[in-house]
Chain A
Amino acid sequence: MSYLFAAFSIVWIVIFLYVLSISRRQRALAREVETLRQMTQKEPSSPSS
């Protein structure tokens, strides 16, 4: 039973850590996109996309 518990714990831990890492990366990227967008909007001469 301990092997079964170990296997299922590892599966859940790996999945949880991967989802956490993706969401962290995505949040950081979204923040950077937002900052860059604000920078482009501040420029009066920037062409529209």
Chain B
Amino acid sequence: MKKYPPFNNVILDVILPWPTAAAMLTALAMVFLYVPTERVQGAAQRIFYFHLPSAWMAFLGFFIVAGASAAFLWQGNRSADLLARAAAEVGMVFCTLVLLTGPIWARPIWGVWWTWDPRLTMTLVLWLIYAAYVLLRVFAGDTETVARYAAVLGIIGVIDIPILYIAIRLWRGIHPKVEQMAPEMAWTLLVCTGAFMCLFTWLLWLRLQSLHLRDDIIALRQHILTSS
């Protein structure tokens, strides 16, 4: 039987929330007070500084799902499976943010909330794949078979990310590409990415802890049942 709490990390438990909060507030201040307004798109372009880091964090989350799922399939490591499950959920939160902020940015620039642009479509497909993964983990039970099916889905799903990246070149979409930007814009993007990275790490840690706690409960229940 595992001891409670399952694992402790002072940096992630106590220290990380504070730099995360500070970084998020700094990012917000930079977006609204520091970075100049883009000449063509105006104020709406500032959505980009939270939209793009959200997309990167979603991709990071799904790459972790694929890596941890591969480790689980290869070694049968329960911790890897829990990491994949936590990363899928956190990745889904960031992917949802991409799909919510994208249309709000598109409306004043393109005149429509949504268009079936290749990159937008592939992002929606990515969201659906990992929504299926999360639903599978929540509703299909916590068995070895379900974990294996989910791991395969988690690995296959990540193939969508490189397709999403080359979609613009393959099908000539209207989604903007990040090429050159003013130093103030690059700095703001860097700070926002750092803030989102801290947030991602903290959320992943929180989710992972609750999954380990759930495992502890199952172990404790089994222990009580066998000893009674």
Interface residues in chain A, defined as those with a beta carbon under 8 Å from any beta carbon in chain B = 1, 3-4, 6-8, 10-11, 14-15, 18-19, 22-23, 25-26, 29-30, 32-34, 36-37, 39-40, 43, 45-47, 49
Contact = CB atoms under 8 A, between A and B. Distances in A.
Q: Mostly helix, strand, loop or mixed at chain A's interface?
A: helix
Contact of B54 (A11, A30, A45): A11
A10 B223 contact: no
Contacts, number: 88
B213 A29 contact: yes
Interface string B185-228: 00000000000000100010011011001101100110110011
A49 B7 CA distance: 16
Given A14-B97, A39-B224, 5 more contacts: A11-B97, A11-B100, A11-B101, A47-B227, A49-B1
B27 to A, nearest CB: 10
Interface of B: 1-4, 28, 31, 43-44, 46-47, 50-51, 54, 93, 96-97, 100-101, 104-105, 107-108, 199, 203, 206-207, 209-210, 213-214, 216-217, 220-221, 223-224, 227-228
